């Protein structure tokens, strides 16, 4: 069994890299695990423990479904967090996504259910995770950071491909190995 997920990789532009650097400075000394810029992505479906047969069938399904969709556009806007200010857990950049992504995600969810995966019933709120917060003492610094970047426009990108990943857990956090990449229709290399 391998832990797998389906995602769209993000190439962080200068504004996202600057925000990460600024955030690390503002939140220095807090117990935070920062995501490496080379591993930034937003998840469409976390599949969890996946058998070799399911991996093969999922790859085949992605090769059939994804190329039907035009390359979508994503805008990266605003900084936020999950949980609450008393116990923040995830620091993220918000996404304004092309409706094509929502349509494709719904189709992927139906296909994944047929392959035996449990589908998350919560509303889809795409976000780009920057850090996982273990513990934070200076909540005021976090509030100041959030206020500074609340509606900040970072970048927009045309998405060229969807990536099927294996997540390998390690002492330094997870690393992501590409199982399969599938390009969108009309996505130039």
136-165, pLDDT tens digit by residue? 999 999 999 999 999 999 999 999 999 999
62-113, pLDDT tens digit by residue? 999 999 999 999 999 999 999 888 899 999 999 999 999 999 999 999 999 9
Mean pLDDT of 16-28: 96
Q: How far is CA 116 from CA 38, 153, 188, in A?
A: 31, 39, 33
Share of the chain above pLDDT 90, in %: 86
Q: Are 126 and 101 in contact (CB under 8 A)?
A: yes
Return the domain boundaries, the chain.
2-183
Q: How far is CA 148 from CA 1, 23, 86, in A?
A: 43, 11, 19
- Say how many C-beta atoms besides its own lie within 10 A of residue 117's C-beta: 19
Nearest by Cα to 41 from 150, 178, 147, 134: 178
120-131, pLDDT tens digit by residue? 888 888 999 999
Reduced to 3 states, what is the DSSP secondary structure of residue 91? strand
Q: Quick one: pLDDT at residue 171?
A: 77
Domain 2-183 coded CATH 3.40.35.10: no
Q: Which pTM was predicted?
A: 0.90
- With bands split at pLDDT 50, 70 and 90, how would you rate the model's confidence at 40? very high
Q: What angle do CA 34, 2, 181 make, to 5 degrees?
A: 75
- Please provide the average confidence, as pLDDT, over all residues in the chain: 93
């Amino acid at each position: 069994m391998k832990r797998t997920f389906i995602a769209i990789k993000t190439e962080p532009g200068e504004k996202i890299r600057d925000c990460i650097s600024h955030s690390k400075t503002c939140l220095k000394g807090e117990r935070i695990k920062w995501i490496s810029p080379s591993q930034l992505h937003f998840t469409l479906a976390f599949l969890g423990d996946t058998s070799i047969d399911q991996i093969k069938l999922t790859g085949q399904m992605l090769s059939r479904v994804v190329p039907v969709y035009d390359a979508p556009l994503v805008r990266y806007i605003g900084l936020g967090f999950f949980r609450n200010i008393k116990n923040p857990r995830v620091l993220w950049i918000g996404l304004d996504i092309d409706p094509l992504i929502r349509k494709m995600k719904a189709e992927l969810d139906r296909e994944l259910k047929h392959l035996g995966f449990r589908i998350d019933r919560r509303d889809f709120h795409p976000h780009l995770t920057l850090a996982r917060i273990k513990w934070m003492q200076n909540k005021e610094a976090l509030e100041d950071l959030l206020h500074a970047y609340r509606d900040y426009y970072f970048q927009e990108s045309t998405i060229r491909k969807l990536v099927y990943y294996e997540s390998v857990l390690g002492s330094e956090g997870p690393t992501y190995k590409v199982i399969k990449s599938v390009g969108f229709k009309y996505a130039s290399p």
